[in-house]
Amino acid sequence: MKEENGDVINVMIVDDHVLYRAGVKTALSSKKDIKIIAESDNGAHLLNMLKGIQPDVILLDIQMPIMDGITALPEIKKLYPGIKVIMLTLLDDQSVITKLMELGANSYLVKTSDAEVIYEAIKTCHQQEFYFNSLTNKALLNNLRQKNIASPFSTGNEEAVLNDKEITILRLMCEEKSTREIAEAVDLSPRTIEAIRDKLKVKTGTKSTAGLIMFAVKNNLLDQEN
């Protein structure tokens, strides 16, 4: 959603550690398109504050007193579905990551992430709904494969038929290859790869790279032989 004051993304930080909140604020202070509009130290306080303010993105700590981030997340999504929520934690736990994404989290970052990663996650979630990194990709792929559970994301047109080149490119995307690496692997230009990726989204009815990855998993494209 677009903000009222141009392209500035309004952000709220929810973490019970004052020093961490101050560090994030300082780190993002140089970004002209980010504005920290509020802070909170627990989920209950956050939900109360949301009655009066509407941030575009919330940075939400998982472990907090009174009400933790895992409890607050589904409440935020139920009451304010348009707000993007980026979970913050010290833990790299794949089962927790999958659970949070299923509950509606738009991204998952470890708290040791540097300022540029946090900035990129905020912008990407705001513009494209999800920000995926190696943590989230591996957790989602592994858990979907192990449990054969339904995707937390819309996988669009599950009847879509992809050609061999499209399947190859989709597999490489699932292996976290960059656009340039994929281009080199299939002997095409990066611009052509981007065009094929956009075509895949249309063809499969998905809205993001995350949706394409989930489409691949759900349709067992990663386990097929060439």
Q: What pLDDT was estimated at residue 57?
A: 97
Compute the average pLDDT of residues 178-204.
89
d(C-alpha 209, C-alpha 176), whole Å:
11
**pLDDT band, residue 196 (cuts 50/70/90):** very high
Structure tokens at 3: 């903000």
The 10s digit of each residue's pLDDT in 48-57 is: 999 999 999 9
Separation CA 188–CA 174 (nearest Å) = 18
Q: How far is CA 46 from CA 13, 55, 218, in A?
A: 9, 11, 35
Q: Cα separation of 84 and 107, whole Å?
A: 9
- The distance in angstroms from the start CA to the end CA of the chain is 41
Question: What is residue 149's predicted lDDT score, i.e. its pLDDT?
Answer: 47
Q: Each residue of 144-168: pLDDT tens digit?
A: 656 554 444 444 555 678 888 998 9
For residue 35, how many other CB atoms are within 10 A of its CB? 16
58-95 per-position pLDDT tens digit: 999 998 999 999 999 999 999 998 999 999 988 776 66
Record the pTM: 0.66
CA gap 216, 67 in Å, rounded: 36
pLDDT at 5: 44
Return the pLDDT at 225. Answer: 47
How much of the chain, in percent, has pLDDT values that exceed 70?
A: 81
Measured N-to-C along each axis, helices 164-174 and 179-186 cross at an angle, to the nearest 10 degrees, of 140
Largest CA distance in the chain: 55
pLDDT for residue 137 = 67
Q: Is residue 206 scored above 70 in pLDDT?
A: yes
Looking at every residue in the chain, the average pLDDT score rounds to 82
**Whole-angstrom Cα distance, residue 78 to residue 82?**
10
DSSP structure string for 61-101? ESS-SSS-HHHHHHHHHHH-TTSEEEEEES---HHHHHHHH
Cα separation, 207 vs 31, in Å, equals 27
Query: What confidence tier does 2 reach under pLDDT thresholds 50, 70, 90?
Result: very low
pLDDT computed for residue 145 by the predictor:
59
Question: Which carries the bigger pLDDT value, residue 164 or residue 215?
Answer: 164
Quick check: helix, strand or coil at residue 104?
A: coil
pLDDT tier at 140 (50, 70, 90 boundaries)? low
Residue 220: the pLDDT is 73
Per-residue pLDDT of 24-51, as tens digits, reads 999 999 999 999 999 999 999 999 999 9
Q: 40 has which bridge partners?
A: 14
Domains of the chain, CATH where assigned: 9-142 (3.40.50.2300), 156-218 (1.10.10.10)
Query: CA nearest 153: which of 132, 175, 123?
Result: 132
Mutual orientation of helices 164-174 and 190-204 as an angle, nearest 10°? 100
